[in-house]
Structure 1
Amino acid sequence: MATVPPDTRAAKVTEQQEQRWQLFSDTFSPERQPDIPATAKKQILHLWGASEFSWAVCSTSPNVLTALLHSGLLHRSLSEGEMEEELAQLLAESDSEEILMSQLRQFRKKHLLRIIFRDLNRLAPMTETTADISIMADTCIQQSYNWLHDDCCKQLGTPTPHQKMTILGMGKLGAGELNLSSDIDLIFCYPEKGETRGAKRVLTNQEFFTRLGQRLIRVLDATTAEGFVFRVDMRLRPYGQSGALALSYSAMEQYYQDQGRDWERYAMIKARVITGGEAANELMQMLHPFVFRRYIDFSAITALRDMKRMIQQEVARRSIYNNIKLGHGGIREIEFIVQSFQLIHGGRDRSLQVRALLTCLDHLENSGYLPQHVCMELREANEFLRNVEHALQAWKDKQTQTLPSHPDEQFRLALAMGFTGWDDFVTELDRHRNNVDRHFSAIVSEAEDTQDDESHPVADWDTFWNTRLDKEEEVALLNKMGFLNPDETHRRLTTLRDGKVLKTVRRQSAERISQFMPCLLKAVLREENPDQALQRLLTIVEAVLRRTAYLMLLIENPGALEHLVSLCSASPWITEQVARHPALLDEFLNLGNLYTPPEKAQLEDELRQQLAHIPEDDLEIQMESLRYFRMAHMLRVAAAQVVGKMPLMKESDYLTWTAETILCAVQDIAQHQLTSRHGSPGYKSDEPKPGFLIVGYGKLGGIELGPGSDLDLVFIHNSNPNAMTAGERQLDNSMFFTRLGQRIVHMLSTSTMSGQLYEVDMRLRPSGNSGLLVSSLTAFEKYQQKEAWTWEHQALVRARCVAGSPELAKQFETVRAETLSQPRDLTKLQKEVREMRHKMVKSLGTKSTRGGTLPTSWTANSPFHLKHDHGGIVDIEFIVQFAVLAWSHTHPALTRWTDNIRILEELADAKLVSVEHVQQLSEAYKVYRKTLHRQALQNLGSQVSGDQMHSNRKTIISFWNMLLDDEILY
Structure 2
Amino acid sequence: MPRIESTAARLAKLGFADGARAARLAATLATPEAGEAEELLRDLVRVADPDLALTSLTRLAERDPGVLRTLSGDRPLRERLFAVLGVSAALGEHLVRHPGQTALLAVPELGDPRDELLRAVGADPAAPEPRAGAGDALVALRVAYRGRLLHLAARDLTGAAAHAEVTAELSDLAGAALEAALAIARAEAGDDAEPVRLAVIGMGKCGARELNYISDVDVVFVAEPHDGADETKALRTATRLAQAMMRACSAATPEGALWEVDAGLRPEGRSGPLVRTLASHLAYYRRWAKTWEFQALLKARPVAGDAELGAAYVAAVNDLVWSAATRENFVEDVQAMRRRVEEHVRAEGERQIKLGPGGLRDIEFAVQLLQLVHGRLDPLLRRKATLPALAALSRGGYVGREDARGLAEAYTFLRRVEHLLQLYRLRRTHVLPAAEEDLRRLGRALGTQVDPVGEFTGRWRRHAMEARRLHEKLFYRPLLQAVARLPESEARLSTSAAMARLEALGYVDPPGALRHIAALTSGVSRRAAIQRTLLPVMLDWFAGTPDPDAGLLGFRQVSDKLGSTPWYLRLLRDETAVASRMARVLGTSRYATGLLTHAPEAVPLLGSDADLAARPAAALLAEATAAVSRHDDAESAVGAVRALRRKELFRTAVADISGLIDIEQVGVALSELNDVTIQAALDAAIAKVTLERRAPLPTRVAVIAMGRLGGMECSYASDADVMFVHAPAEAERDATDAAFAVANEVRRLLALPAPDPPLLIDPDLRPEGRQGPLVRTLASYAAYYARWSSPWESQALLRARFSAGDAGLGAEFTEMIDRIRYPAGGIGDDAVREIRRLKARMEAERLPRGADPALHTKLGPGGLSDVEWVAQLLQLRHAHEHPSLRTTRTLETLRAAVAAELLGPADAEELTGAWRFASRIRDAIMLIKGRPGDSVPVDVRERRLAARTLGYAPDGSEDFLNDYRRVTRRARQVMERVFYGS
Shorter-chain-normalised TM-score: which range? Answer: 0.3 to 0.5
TM-score, with length taken from structure 2: 0.47
- Specify the structure having the higher radius of gyration (Cα): 2
TM-score, with length taken from structure 1: 0.48
